[in-house]
């Protein structure tokens, strides 16, 4: 125990300092050993955990017939890069669905940020009669699973002529209760004084919002943006119901279109498409890792 | 800013009161006009009304009707509570309910357990810890179709990697995974836990790292063993995080419709026809929109009830501090 | 740790006016331009077919135009230059059919449409969707054959007719002749159920080779149309044929005579099995004419064995074929061009046989010679890879009695229940008795619930 409490002892003598140094070195070795004692198994576990992705990549470079060879062939003899060119530029290219996904995701994020920040701020900082009632209604609504609304939304979009358009995916995603909730939580934790002072100065409400509170909400805003983007990107259920024209498919649907003429999944092409579909998100994640983690934990701990 | 504030504070005697008292005393120049609040809310509110609230009302109304969509609005037939009676009598509904409870009831705790175990293991000085944490998190951000397609092939009964491996271990009578009515749901659970554990890990890790070090040091000085420390200090401190994860994972998982639609289509048999998939089947394969709405409504009320219980539990805990 | 303390108030960061505005403004600007861009892209795609064109006949079908329909339409246009036709193809799966249903309901301009499969027909059989063609059909003597009450080929409800079948797809049993001769089995020209079982037992040999993919739908052979329901509309699944079918199949799967069902489900070959047949996984194969399309394609499916055909075995002297009348043609009840639509239907039914043959379909009313039909189905140079005479005998002699279910009560739901139980039974995870009992019970409940519709 005495080894670990450091700093407060008086300067040791030469002999003591030699012993001290030796003890420090021994501790460092012990720590490094313990680092690796844990590190190695964790790294092995991580590799195991990610094995499906390795398999995905391996299969994406094989001709379809080889995908189910027993025993498994990790490194294909003849890496079939044509799978990738076929998936990107062939007859059923995933590029259109890629673009559709991007379009939908970007629109949703922009719309969501715009409406949620405004509403969240209002719930937090702009008192008005009935505000609490509306907020409670919001809370209750947040529990509604989107699936329940699939049927009526389907009917409405079809009546409005929005069935089989990308708007059917974008519109519901632009106005969510959850986003408002998160922003409100954030703004609530901000002090009121600045708004009051600014109002006494004669500043308009929107200026108070945009110049004072909004800038400092950037962490939460980027959190929301990331969350919304990821949700939109990975959404499979909504496009499954609301889209039918293959040209409008978003990426999850587009991935399922790599079937041979009997309707069975073509493993090589499907995996190549899957790998390509993961890359953008993976890239975003690796680059913005800190922001990503922050986004996840912000929403959790607020 | 500060100078101006003090100036006006001096000028107006009522600013000596706290802000809330000022508001109660009547509107002051420091308060916003009410209409602004409404304006700010308007975009979001209108959208929510249009795309969430009105559909919800429609579902409630539809659940009292028979409607097959194809015969148009003229074909809507009001039938009172017939649908709800039918729901109670419908074996597929009860099967779906059981499957949903089973699925969520196993997948969620398992996800938490794995996430927590990973977090505890990672909550120490490890080489490349950030990268490790990222590695476990990657499956969470991959889209469900890519995950579904991959695991469907990994779990192929004869040539999939998993069964090949189990075979080399000498196992006979290998589980047929998605081609078996006994193993399809466990297979789904396996994939779900794999995909979600990284998220739980992340949240737990952040919570662990926020924990005040003094508590642990004090325990160490007192000579508490690792398990005792965990039980008396770590676990209670993670309770709010756990409840948060429980809520978010539970709601999310009850809706894991994507994988079922992609791989099993509710089968084999009806072994993966959870409530959410049954709703989809009833609407878009059987064209019974009224009945599907009734099923959905009953499900929603069920989830709502469970949420309420959890919410009360959490509030109770935080009140008890 | 129970409640997080509020973070200390952050002093307002001195922000120059520009960035705050720019950020908001940028968002707004980006949003507006994206919206504008998006709107043009999105609405452009969504509006197709929303308006009614009084001068064009809109035809929707699930077949790719180049495989036959287009040439039919071209000939129709020659015969009727005053009726321009626009052909729209939909994919015949759940999503595609949903699109057709919503289009029909939503008033999209469709005049003539095709329905594939009885389950989909159940959705579109009502007179609010499909026009009543009863009088027109009865006024056309050439179509009288469709109205045979014992072997209906149209969806009739009293005098109302809302759908007409256009194709017939007799099922048959194909043999990989090389393997068959190896096993010493003679090609049957007619056989009983018992003989059939003996044959496939003889055909199954060493590891990995099965006698057949599945058994033919034996209850269908014994009972014929509407076999799931009794004449009173109750569940017919207590009929012993169903239990026998489940049980025999399960036993043969267990014995290795039939292809393992778990494999069929895992690899999703329940609909198309030509890859397995070509690879020799099973020696005989119960299938329909559409499979011939693959077998006569030596490029995509090269194989060196000959294929011969045998008709369905009889069951207790009943000789229904398990094939059905299909590809139902219907007229949209809301169509404003009823006359034109009927002209098109008549043309398709009476004169479209040759074009449909290209797509691998045999039309019900056909002026095409047997030889030509065989050539259309088996391809040119068929002699090398097909025992043509056996096909002639199998497809034309009889003629095979096909069916069309007309009692469509809860059709999709009953089908689903049946298939679910069949799957677990053939996966050997449920006894045939339990499986059939479940199907019977569920069907009766469904009938009780939905019978009045």
How confident is the model over C138-166, as pLDDT tens digits?
A: 998 888 888 888 788 999 888 899 999 99
How far apart CA A39 and CA C181 sit, in angstroms, is 64
Residue B140 lies in a domain: yes
Beta bridge partners of C401: C320
Q: What is the CA radius of gyration of chain C?
A: 27
Q: Is the pLDDT of residue C349 over 70?
A: yes
pLDDT at position A261 is 63
How far apart CA A208 and CA A211 sit, in angstroms, is 6
**Are C98 and A244 an interchain contact pair (Cβ–Cβ within 8 Å)?**
yes
- Cβ atoms of residues B160 and B153 within 8 Å: yes
Q: Superfamily assignment of A91-301 in CATH?
A: MetI-like (1.10.3720.10)
How many domains does the structure of chain B reveal?
Answer: 2
Question: Within 10 A of B61 (CB to CB), how many other CB atoms are there?
Answer: 14
Q: How far is CA A95 from the centre of its chain?
A: 21
- Distances, alpha carbon B265 to alpha carbons B162, B179, B211, C90, C261, in Å: 22, 11, 45, 22, 16
pLDDT at position B235 is 82
Q: Which CATH number fits domain C172-321+390-450: 3.40.190.10, 3.20.20.70, 3.30.200.210, 3.40.1440.60?
A: 3.40.190.10
Kindly report, residue by residue over A156-171, the tens digit of the pLDDT: 888 888 888 899 999 9
**Are C427 and B270 an interchain contact pair (Cβ–Cβ within 8 Å)?**
no
Nearest to A217 by CA among C13, C109, B273: C13
Which phi and psi angles does A135 have, rounded to 5°? -65, -40
Q: Is the pLDDT of residue B228 over 90?
A: no
Q: Is the pLDDT of residue B146 over 70?
A: yes
Q: How confident is the model at residue B220 (pLDDT cuts 50, 70, 90)?
A: confident
**Are C263 and B157 an interchain contact pair (Cβ–Cβ within 8 Å)?**
yes
- Closest-CA distance of chain B to residue A237, Å: 6
Q: Are residues B132 and B238 in the same domain?
A: yes
Share of chain B above pLDDT 90, in %: 32
Higher pLDDT, C258 or C272: C258
Q: How confident is the model at residue A32 (pLDDT cuts 50, 70, 90)?
A: confident
Which stretch of DSSP H or E encloses residue C282? Answer: strand C282-287
Nearest to C128 by CA among C327, C325, C330, C326: C330
CA angle A67, A71, A76 (to 5 degrees): 50
How many Å from the N-terminal Cα to the C-terminal Cα in chain A? 38
**Are B293 and A177 an interchain contact pair (Cβ–Cβ within 8 Å)?**
no
What range defines the domain where residue B253 resides? 82-320
The secondary structure of chain A in percent helix, strand, coil, rounded to multiples of 5, reads 75, 0, 25
Question: Within 10 A of B166 (CB to CB), how many other CB atoms are there?
Answer: 14
Average pLDDT over residues C307-312: 93
How far apart CA A236 and CA A274 sit, in angstroms, is 14
Residue B118: CATH number of its domain:
1.10.3720.10
Which B-chain residues 47-76 have CB contacts (< 8 A) with chain C?
68-72, 74-75
Q: Does B181 touch chain C (CB under 8 A)?
A: yes
Nearest to B300 by CA among A77, A149, C344: A149
Which phi and psi angles does C61 have, rounded to 5°? -150, 165
Chain B, nearest residue to C96 by Cα: B284
Pairing assessment for the beta strands C320-326 and C167-169 based on DSSP bridges: antiparallel
Q: Out of A38, A71, A233, name the one closest to residue B121 (CB).
A: A38
Q: How confident is the model at residue C441 (pLDDT cuts 50, 70, 90)?
A: very high
Collapsed DSSP state (helix, strand, coil) of residue C262: helix
pLDDT at position A17 is 73
Q: Is the pLDDT of residue A263 over 70?
A: no
Which stretch of DSSP H or E encloses residue C3? Answer: none
Q: What is the mean pLDDT of chain B?
A: 82
Q: How confident is the model at residue A66 (pLDDT cuts 50, 70, 90)?
A: confident
Residue B41 lies in a domain: no
DSSP B230-293: IIIIIHHHTHHHHHHHHHHHHHHHTT-HHHIIIIITT-STTTT--HHHHHHHHHHTT--HHHHH
Share of chain A above pLDDT 90, in %: 16
DSSP B82-96: HHHHHHHH-HHHHHH
Residue B44 lies in a domain: no
- Cβ atoms of residues C92 and C318 within 8 Å: no
Q: Is the pLDDT of residue C394 over 50?
A: yes
Average pLDDT over residues A224-230: 83
CATH topology identical between C57-169+325-368 and C172-321+390-450: yes
Q: What is the mean pLDDT of chain C?
A: 84
- Closest-CA distance of chain A to residue B251, Å: 8
Q: Are residues B119 and B263 in the same domain?
A: yes
How far apart CA C20 and CA C16 sit, in angstroms, is 8
Q: Are residues B231 and B313 in the same domain?
A: yes
Q: How confident is the model at residue A295 (pLDDT cuts 50, 70, 90)?
A: low
Average pLDDT over residues C204-213: 84
Residues of A in contact with B288 (CB under 8 A): none
Where is average pLDDT lowest: A72-81, A156-165, B150-159, C12-21?
C12-21
Higher pLDDT, C54 or B187: B187
Q: Is the pLDDT of residue A255 over 80?
A: yes
Sign of CA dihedral A289, A290, A291, A293: positive
Q: How confident is the model at residue B254 (pLDDT cuts 50, 70, 90)?
A: low
How far apart CA C291 and CA C289 sit, in angstroms, is 5
- Cβ atoms of residues B286 and C413 within 8 Å: yes
Q: Does B103 touch chain A (CB under 8 A)?
A: no
Which B-chain residues 4-63 have CB contacts (< 8 A) with chain A?
4-5, 8, 19, 23, 29-38, 40-41, 43-48, 50-56, 58-59, 62
Strands (DSSP E) contained in chain B are 65-66, 77-78
Q: Is the pLDDT of residue C26 over 70?
A: no
Average pLDDT over residues B53-77: 86
Q: How confident is the model at residue A11 (pLDDT cuts 50, 70, 90)?
A: low
Kindly report, residue by residue over A193-202, the tens digit of the pLDDT: 877 788 777 7
Where is average pLDDT lowest: B147-161, C7-21, C51-65, C304-318?
C7-21
Average pLDDT over residues A35-54: 87
Residue B268 lies in a domain: yes
Q: Are residues B92 and B186 in the same domain?
A: yes
Q: Is the pLDDT of residue C36 over 70?
A: no
Each domain of chain A, given as residue ranges in start order, spans: 91-301
- Closest-CA distance of chain C to residue B86, Å: 8
Residue B48 lies in a domain: no
**Are B48 and A143 an interchain contact pair (Cβ–Cβ within 8 Å)?**
no
Average pLDDT over residues C97-101: 86
**Are A301 and B207 an interchain contact pair (Cβ–Cβ within 8 Å)?**
yes
Please give the class, per CATH, of domain C57-169+325-368: alpha beta
How far apart CA C107 and CA C86 sit, in angstroms, is 17
Each domain of chain C, given as residue ranges in start order, spans: 57-169+325-368, 172-321+390-450
Where is average pLDDT lowest: A191-205, C197-211, C346-360, C399-413?
A191-205
Kindly report, residue by residue over B243-252, the tens digit of the pLDDT: 878 877 876 6
Average pLDDT over residues C172-193: 91
Q: Out of A110, A190, A212, name the one closest to residue C34 (CB).
A: A110
Nearest to B124 by CA among A46, A32, C4: A32
pLDDT at position C52 is 64
Q: How confident is the model at residue B271 (pLDDT cuts 50, 70, 90)?
A: very high
CA angle A55, A58, A62 (to 5 degrees): 130
Average pLDDT over residues B15-31: 55
pLDDT at position B109 is 93
Residues of A in contact with B65 (CB under 8 A): none
Q: Is the pLDDT of residue B42 over 60?
A: yes
pLDDT at position A170 is 93
**Are C98 and A214 an interchain contact pair (Cβ–Cβ within 8 Å)?**
no
Q: Supply the ipTM of this predicted assembly.
A: 0.80
Residues of C in contact with A107 (CB under 8 A): 34-35, 38
Average pLDDT over residues A98-120: 92
Share of chain C above pLDDT 70, in %: 88
Pairing assessment for the beta strands C112-115 and C328-331 based on DSSP bridges: antiparallel
pLDDT at position C216 is 93
How far apart CA C444 and CA B88 sit, in angstroms, is 17
pLDDT at position B256 is 77
**Are C2 and B317 an interchain contact pair (Cβ–Cβ within 8 Å)?**
yes
Q: Out of C45, C95, C106, name the one closest to residue A158 (CB).
A: C106
Residues of B in contact with A62 (CB under 8 A): none
Q: Out of C265, C412, C442, name the one closest to residue B286 (CB).
A: C412
pLDDT at position B19 is 54
Average pLDDT over residues C280-294: 90
């Amino acid at each position: 125990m005495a080894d670990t409490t450091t700093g407060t002892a008086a300067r040791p003598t030469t002999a003591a300092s030699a012993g001290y140094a030796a003890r420090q070195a021994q501790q460092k070795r012990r720590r490094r050993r313990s680092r690796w004692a844990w590190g190695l198994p964790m790294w092995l576990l991580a590799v195991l955990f990610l094995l499906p992705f390795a398999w995905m990549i391996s299969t994406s470079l094989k001709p379809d017939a080889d995908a189910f060879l027993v025993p498994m062939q990790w490194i294909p003899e003849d890496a079939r890069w044509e799978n990738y060119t076929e998936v990107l530029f062939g007859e059923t290219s995933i590029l259109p669905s890629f673009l559709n996904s991007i379009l939908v995701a970007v629109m949703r994020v922009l719309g969501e940020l715009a409406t949620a920040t405004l509403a969240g701020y209002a719930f937090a900082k702009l008192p008005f009669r009935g505000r609490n009632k509306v907020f409670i209604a919001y809370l209750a609504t947040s529990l509604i699973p989107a699936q329940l609304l699939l049927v009526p939304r389907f009917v409405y979009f079809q009546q409005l002529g929005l069935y089989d358009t990308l708007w059917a995916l974008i519109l519901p995603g632009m106005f969510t209760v959850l986003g408002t909730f998160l922003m409100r939580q954030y703004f609530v934790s901000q002090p009121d004084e600045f708004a009051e002072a600014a109002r006494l100065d004669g500043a308009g409400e929107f200026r108070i919002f945009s110049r004072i509170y909004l800038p400092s909400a950037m962490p939460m805003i980027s959190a929301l943006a990331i969350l919304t983007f990821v949700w939109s990107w990975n959404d499979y259920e909504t496009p499954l119901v609301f889209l039918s024209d293959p040209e409008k498919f978003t990426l999850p649907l587009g991935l399922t279109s790599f079937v041979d003429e009997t309707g069975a999944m073509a493993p090589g092409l499907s995996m190549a498409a899957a790998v390509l579909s993961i890359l953008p998100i993976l890239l975003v994640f690796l680059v913005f890792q800190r922001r990503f983690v922050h986004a996840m934990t912000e929403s959790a701990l607020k | 800013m500060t100078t101006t504030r003090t100036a006006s504070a001096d000028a107006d005697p009522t600013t000596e009161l706290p802000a809330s008292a000022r508001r109660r005393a009547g509107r002051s120049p420091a308060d916003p006009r009410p209409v602004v609040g409404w304006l700010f809310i308007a975009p979001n509110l209108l959208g929510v009304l249009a795309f969430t609230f009105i559909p919800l009302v429609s579902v409630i109304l539809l659940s009292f009707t028979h409607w097959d969509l194809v015969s148009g609005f003229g074909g809507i037939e009001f039938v009172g509570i017939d649908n709800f009676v039918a729901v109670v009598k419908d074996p597929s509904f009860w099967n779906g309910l059981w499957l949903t409870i089973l699925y969520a009831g196993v997948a969620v705790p398992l996800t938490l357990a794995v996430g927590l175990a990973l977090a505890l293991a990672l909550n120490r000085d490890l080489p490349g810890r950030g990268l490790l944490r990222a590695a476990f998190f990657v499956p969470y951000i991959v889209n469900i179709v890519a995950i579904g397609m991959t695991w469907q092939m990994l779990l192929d009964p004869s040539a999939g990697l998993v069964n090949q491996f189990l075979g080399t271990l000498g196992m006979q009578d290998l589980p047929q995974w998605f081609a078996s009515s006994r193993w399809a749901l466990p297979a789904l659970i396996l994939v779900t836990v794999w995909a979600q554990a990284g998220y739980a890990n992340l949240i737990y890790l952040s919570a662990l790292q926020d924990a005040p070090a003094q508590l642990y040091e004090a325990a160490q000085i007192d000579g508490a063993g690792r398990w005792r420390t965990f039980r008396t200090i770590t676990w209670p401190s993670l309770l709010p995080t756990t409840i948060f994860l429980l809520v978010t994972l539970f709601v999310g998982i009850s809706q894991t419709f994507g994988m079922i639609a992609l791989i099993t289509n509710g089968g084999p048999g009806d072994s993966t026809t959870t409530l959410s998939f049954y709703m989809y089947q009833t609407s878009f394969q059987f064209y019974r929109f009224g009945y599907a709405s009734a099923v959905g409504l009953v499900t929603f009320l069920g989830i709502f009830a469970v949420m309420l219980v959890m919410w009360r539990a959490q509030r109770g805990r935080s009140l008890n501090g | 740790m129970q409640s997080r303390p509020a973070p200390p108030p952050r002093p307002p960061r001195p922000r120059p006016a520009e960035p705050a505005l720019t950020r908001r403004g940028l968002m707004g600007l980006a949003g507006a331009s994206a919206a504008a861009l998006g709107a043009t892209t999105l609405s452009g795609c969504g509006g197709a077919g929303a308006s009614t064109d009084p001068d064009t006949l809109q035809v929707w079908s699930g077949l790719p135009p180049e495989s036959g329909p287009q040439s039919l339409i071209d000939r129709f246009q020659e015969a009727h230059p005053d009726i321009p036709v626009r052909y729209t193809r939909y994919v015949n799966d759940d999503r595609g059919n949903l699109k057709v249903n919503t289009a029909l309901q939503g008033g999209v301009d469709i005049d003539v449409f095709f329905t594939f499969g009885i389950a989909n027909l159940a959705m579109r059989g009502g007179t609010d969707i499909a026009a009543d063609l009863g009088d027109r059909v009865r006024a056309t003597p050439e179509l009288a054959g469709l109205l045979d009450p014992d072997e209906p080929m149209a969806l009739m409800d009293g005098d109302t007719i809302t759908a007409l079948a256009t194709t017939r797809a007799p099922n048959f049993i194909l043999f990989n002749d090389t393997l068959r001769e190896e096993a010493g089995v003679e090609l049957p020209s007619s056989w009983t159920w018992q003989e059939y079982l003996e044959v496939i037992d003889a055909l199954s040999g060493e590891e990995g080779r099965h006698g057949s993919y599945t058994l033919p739908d034996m209850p269908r052979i014994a009972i014929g149309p509407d076999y799931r329901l009794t004449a009173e509309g109750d569940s017919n699944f207590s009929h012993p044929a169903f239990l026998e079918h489940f049980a025999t199949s399960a036993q043969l799967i267990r014995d290795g005579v039939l292809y393992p069902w778990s494999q069929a489900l895992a690899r999703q070959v329940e609909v198309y099995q030509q890859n397995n047949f070509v690879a020799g996984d099973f020696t005989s194969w119960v299938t329909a004419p559409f499979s011939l399309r693959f077998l006569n394609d030596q490029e995509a499916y090269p194989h060196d064995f000959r294929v011969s055909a045998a008709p369905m075995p009889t069951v207790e002297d009943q000789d229904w074929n398990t094939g059905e009348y299909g590809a139902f043609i219907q007229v949209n009840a809301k169509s404003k061009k009823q006359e034109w639509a009927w002209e098109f239907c008549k043309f398709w039914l009476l004169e479209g046989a040759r074009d449909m043959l290209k797509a691998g379909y045999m039309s019900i009313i056909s002026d095409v010679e047997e030889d030509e039909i065989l050539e259309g189905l088996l391809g040119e140079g068929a002699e090398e890879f097909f025992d043509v005479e056996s096909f002639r005998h199998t497809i034309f002699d009889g003629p095979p009695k096909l069916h069309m279910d007309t009692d469509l009560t809860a059709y999709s739901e009953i089908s689903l229940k049946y298939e679910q139980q069949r799957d677990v039974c053939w996966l050997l995870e449920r006894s045939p008795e339990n499986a059939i009992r479940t199907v019977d019970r569920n069907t009766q409940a469904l009938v009780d619930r939905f019978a009045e519709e």
